[in-house]
Each structure stands twice: as structure tokens, then as C-alpha cells.
Amino acid sequence: MERILVSAPALRVLLNLELATLDFCEGVEVQKLLVHPVADADGCNWEVAAYSGLPRDEQHRSLVEAVIASQRYRYNVGKRG
């Protein structure tokens, strides 16, 4: 499956909308993305560098990370991003 190319600001919005669908994630937001010039071994060229409101308990943190991981297979930051 080919990834959808989006700008970095649009990706941040998309990630935050996805996180907002989780009941326990009220107030959790992606604050900063790192965009890499070359995709990693999985074909993704970005990662989350900072969150706000990230849950402290391991179970909820793991769920947040799983949601973000699923989006890494869906999106890449385009050249203009």
C-alpha cells in the first residue's frame, strides 16, 4: 500500500484527530514531528518527537504509540511538507 503524502502541519492535525477518537486521550496531542530526508526500513519518513498530555500509565501510553504506529504505515511527509 502506497502512503498518502501530506505536509508536516497537516500530518500533525491528522494524528491529533486520530488520538482524539480514543476515550482516554483527552488532551493528548502531537506537539512536534521529526521529518527525515530518507525513509526508514519500514518506508516511513517521520516520527513523533514530542507529545503533550501523554498518559503516564504504560497501558495507555502503549495504545497511543500503537495508534501512531498505524499512521506511520498510512502517511509520509511530502517534499513540500
Question: How distant, in Å, are the alpha carbons of 2, 5, 71, 80 from that of 63?
Answer: 24, 24, 13, 30
Strand intervals (E) in the chain: 4-6, 29-35, 46-52, 75-77
DSSP string, 2-20: PPEEE-HHHHHHHHHHHHH
The count of structural domains within the chain is 1
| Bridge partners, residue 75, by sequence | 4
- Domain of residue 30 covers 4-77
pTM of the model: 0.89
Tens digits of per-residue pLDDT, 42-77? 999 999 999 999 888 888 899 999 999 999 999 999
* Res 35 pLDDT > 50: yes
Tens digits of per-residue pLDDT, 8-27? 999 999 999 999 998 877 88
Structure confidence at residue 40 as a pLDDT band (50, 70, 90): very high
Q: Supply the pLDDT for residue 80.
A: 56
